[in-house]
């Protein structure tokens, strides 16, 4: 079906109808998951801020310790350094997990999209070989 205004009539017991419905629903579910995960990517800004804070506080602690600016200042900066590094690692881990989830959701979306296209083609009366060629 090349024209979106076209309508095809399908028997309710068509063996490809249920498979098409399931693939289309799963495809939409994966698309929603992709959109949800993509909305979380502003975490990257937080990651860069945490890296900047870690480098500043860790570098400041080293400079304070080496120049003798004061042990209390060096200790305070060192504590800030530890907190910043922990935040950086936590956010980085969350981003890596989200990136993996996003990749899996995109692969699943593509598979469901291909399944929906195949089953729709079969409902239109296409042969197995023709419909497999049109899948991707």
CB 105 within 8 A of CB 34: yes
62, part of any domain:
yes
27, part of any domain:
yes
User: Of residues 46 and 117, which shows the higher confidence score?
Assistant: 117
10-37: pLDDT as tens digits: 788 888 888 888 888 888 888 888 888 7
33, part of any domain:
yes
CA–CA dist 48, 111 (Å, integer): 34
71-106: pLDDT as tens digits: 777 777 777 778 777 877 777 777 777 778 888 888
pLDDT at 117 over 80: yes
Structure tokens at 124: 């239109």
Task: Please report, in angstroms and rounded to a whole number, the separation of the first and last CA atoms in the chain.
Answer: 15
Domain region containing 51? 17-135
118, part of any domain:
yes
CA–CA dist 118, 104 (Å, integer): 21
Is-above-0.85 flag for pTM? no
8, part of any domain:
no
89, part of any domain:
yes
Number of domains in the chain: 1
7, part of any domain:
no
122, part of any domain:
yes
């Amino acid at each position: 079906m090349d024209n979106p205004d076209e309508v095809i009539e399908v028997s309710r017991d068509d063996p490809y109808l249920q498979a098409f419905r399931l693939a289309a629903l799963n495809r939409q579910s994966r698309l929603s998951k992709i959109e949800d995960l993509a909305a979380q990517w502003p975490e990257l800004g937080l990651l860069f801020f945490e890296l900047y804070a870690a480098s500043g506080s860790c570098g400041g602690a080293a400079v304070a310790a080496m120049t003798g600016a004061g042990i209390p200042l060096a200790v305070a900066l060192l504590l800030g350094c530890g907190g910043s590094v922990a935040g950086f690692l936590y956010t980085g881990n969350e981003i890596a997990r989200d990136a993996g989830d996003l990749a899996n959701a995109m692969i699943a979306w593509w598979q469901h999209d291909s399944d929906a296209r195949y089953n729709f083609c079969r409902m239109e009366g296409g042969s197995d070989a023709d419909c497999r060629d049109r899948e991707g």
